[in-house]
Structure 1
Amino acid sequence: MPSSSILSSGAAVALFAQAAIAYTQVNVPVPFMTKNIDPIVFPGSFDKSHLHSFFGADGVTASTNKSAELENSCTNADNPNDLSIYWVPTFLYTKDGGKSYEPVPLSRFSAYYNLGETPAEVPFPQDLKMVAGKAEGTKPADMPAEAKIEWVCEGMKNPPAPDKNGFPSKTCDTHVQTLLYFPQCVNEATLETAYKDRAHGTPNWCPQGMKSMPQLRFSIRYDLRKALPNGWDGVAPFKQACGDNIYCSHGDFINGWTPTAAKNMVATTSDKYHFAAVDGDRGKAGEKQTCKQKDADPSHGTADYAESVKLMGKRSVEAAGWTSRNRFLKI
């Protein structure tokens, strides 16, 4: 049984406190779109990707590749300067023993930008794309250690052990929460990224030629209390669109922060103990958006899980996924 996949409540709190001592935060209440596209891994394709849930800027399409392509988006993030797009494999649950699956209701998606092990030196470059995790993972050893992937019962005093797939084996009395960390080193010229490590032997813990940037972390809370009012005991009745387990957990990001706001973010990570809002050319953090989001390419792709699986079965390429292992990544 994968004992490392679920933290005790105390350990989870300690890890969070250690990791988030200097940060800014962007919250998103709901995914604005669920669709079988992945502009980083399968650009332009509508039959190769599993289902993903998208948060943030609605200008994203299967072919999005540049920050400028998100400039005219409507975002459901609570910072008007953040036109980034964030996505993860759709988290699904079943009430009929696996005959059908529906997306798990979301409580909140949060993107934290932290200090990390050493101070940030540079802002996120325009056109930066990152992936954390391993989409083809099937066992605990497949999860990149640097991504610090966790699936927990948020704040639960006596959390259950993980089931055979790594999910909580009994009903959570709060939210099901997952955490995921992204690389925090970048080569500004090539946009290659890597995780920090003392072994690199550099003052900023980054590989030679790379600078330290704020570290992005996903914290996603799902609420199953209404969806599964009777709870569960044993193998949890849910899965990810990438597989039946937590080991394929991954997240994707295309930077859409305005250059001014991205630069302002660097300063927010210099304080070791306080949250700091990031303001910019488009307004102040927390300002409500008046625009209405919509799918930028409604004629292509599907939001239906069963249909997405059927389409993937017809594809002519093998399943592929990106890994965030501590090596140079150019995406």
Structure 2
Amino acid sequence: MKSLSLFALAAPAQAALRFGCSTLTIQRLDPIVEPGGLPSAHLHQIVGGNAFNATMDGDVGERGSCTTCTFSEDFSNYWTAVMFFKHANGTYKRVPIMQNTALPNGINGGMTVYYTQQDFNSNGNQKITAFKPGFRMTVGSPTTGSLSDAKGHIGLRFVCLQDKGTRFPELPDFPTKACKGGIMTVHHFPSCWDGKNLDSPDHQAHMYATTKEAFAAAGACPASHPVRMPQVAYETLWDTTQFDKLWPADGSNPFVLSYGDTKGYGTHADYLFGWKGDSLQRAMDDKCMFNACENGKPLKSQNVAAMNKCAVKTMVNENLDGWLHSMPGQKM
């Protein structure tokens, strides 16, 4: 991704959203891939609206009463796999999440979410159609098993941070050395819709990616998926620095994603739309940029205290903290 400071120099024709969402919950739940599963196969960190549950159908935006995101009309849910550190003795510890330096102080973990338009280099050239109630999608796959396949998943990357402002180079797998400022995971979703289906059996076929690396302008949508929708992207910053002195002597990577991936090839993310009413469409039709879209211009927003206060109950009761003999859901 480009340095965030460069974005401020752009003069977009229409809105681009960048905002923080604090952590809603960390649980083994996945209402898209494993609806009804209590628990799901592996652990996720989830942000967004408090309607989140093991099963989610219909208009989520009409059911939530609070959200952990900056925009108080956004009851969508956004989630990714959790990162763990594996000690030489075989135990695991969950890696904590840091807030992005571009966001207000005090956000409890979570992630940075973007809704951009094709992306910034040609912002606003096309009509952007907001997602519909009931819409959902995933990007990436935990079954990706090779570096070449991981490289083919454009926009799913790792960044070895020197500080929280580092954005290059983008890597298709875990960094091979300790990172001074932690590790960032990046997930870009496809933005071309078939115009018909709110979901598909694999949760991906109804969408088509013309994404290019690092927020470069995306390609044109194909005839099979002609509707240009917002480009959704996540940035998650993992505070790996507390494990620097525990890095293996042989230099092997000690980090693992919660479904057992020690390479990072299968990094993936899920999105479930839940903006209230026409709020997202109003934003996409506007001319605001980042925090200029807050405070009713055109979107309602809330302070960090309100974001951090929103939560959901624990539905899968298992130990997630301290040194664990195995990751939740993974066999010893």
Sort the TM-score into its range (normalised by shorter chain).
Answer: 0.7 to 0.9
Q: Contact (CA 8 Å) 1:37, 1:301: kept in 2 or not?
A: no
Alpha-carbon displacement from aligned partner over 1:235-290 (angstroms, at most 9, x marks no partner): 2321101221211100001011123221122125x67x876425669962354463
CA separation of 1:197/1:74 partners in 2, compared to 1, >3 Å: closer, same or farther?
A: closer
Unaligned runs of 5+ in 2: 100-110, 120-124, 199-205, 213-218
Question: Does the 8 Å CA contact 1:180/1:217 hold for their aligned counterparts?
Answer: yes
Q: Aligned to 2:173, which of 166, 169, 180?
A: 166
Correspondence for 1:111 among 102, 113, 126: 113
Q: Is 1:135 matched up with 2:149?
A: no
**Aligned position for 1:232:** 247
* Alignment equivalent of 2:236, drawn from 196, 211, 220: 220
- Separation in 2 of the partners of 1:130 and 1:48? 17
258-267 vs 131-140, which moves further: 258-267
Query: Which of 18, 23, 32 in structure 1 is aligned with 2:24?
Result: 32
Amino acid at match of 2:21: V
RMSD, matched Cα: 3.7
Shift of 1:16: 9.7
Q: What is the rounded CA distance, in whole Å, between the counterparts of 1:293 and 1:14 in structure 2?
A: 30
Q: Which residue of 2 aligns with 1:194?
A: 208
The yes-or-no answer on 1:102 pairing with 2:98 is: no
Verify: 1:205 aligned to 2:198, yes or no.
no
The answer to whether the aligner puts 1:259 opposite 2:273 as a matched pair is: no
- For residues 195-246 of structure 1, the C-alpha deviation after alignment (integer angstroms, 9 at most, x for no partner) is 2389xxxx95233463101100111111222x22526362232110122121
**1:50 equivalent among 42, 47, 72:** 42
2:24 alignment partner AA: F
The answer for unaligned runs of 5 or more in structure 1 is 1-11, 314-331
2:114–2:234 contact (8 Å) kept in structure 1: yes
Segments of 4+ in structure 1 off by > 2 A?
12-18, 20-23, 65-74, 117-121, 141-147, 154-162, 203-210, 229-233, 273-276, 278-296, 298-310
Match of 1:80 among 72, 78, 101: 72
Among 312, 316, 332, the alignment partner of 1:295 is 312
Among 287, 309, 328, the alignment partner of 2:329 is 309
How many Å apart are 1:72 and its aligned residue? Answer: 2.2
Instruction: State the shift of 1:87 in Å.
Output: 0.6
Structure 2: distance between partners of 1:286 and 1:173: 32
After TM superposition, the score normalised by the length of structure 1 is 0.73
What residue is the counterpart of 1:3 in the other structure?
A: none
Contact preservation (8 Å) 2:221, 2:227: no
Q: Of 124, 128, 133, which residue of structure 1 is paired with 2:131?
A: 124
Q: Which amino acid aligns with 1:125?
A: K
**What letter matches 2:181 in structure 1?**
T
Matching residue's letter, 2:191: Q
Whether the 8 Å CA contact 1:146–1:181 is kept in 2: the answer is no
In structure 1, distance between residues paired with 2:296 and 2:195: 22
Q: Does 1:241 align with 2:258?
A: yes
Pair 1:188–1:167, CA change in 2 (3 A) = same
Task: Tell me the matched-pair count.
Answer: 288
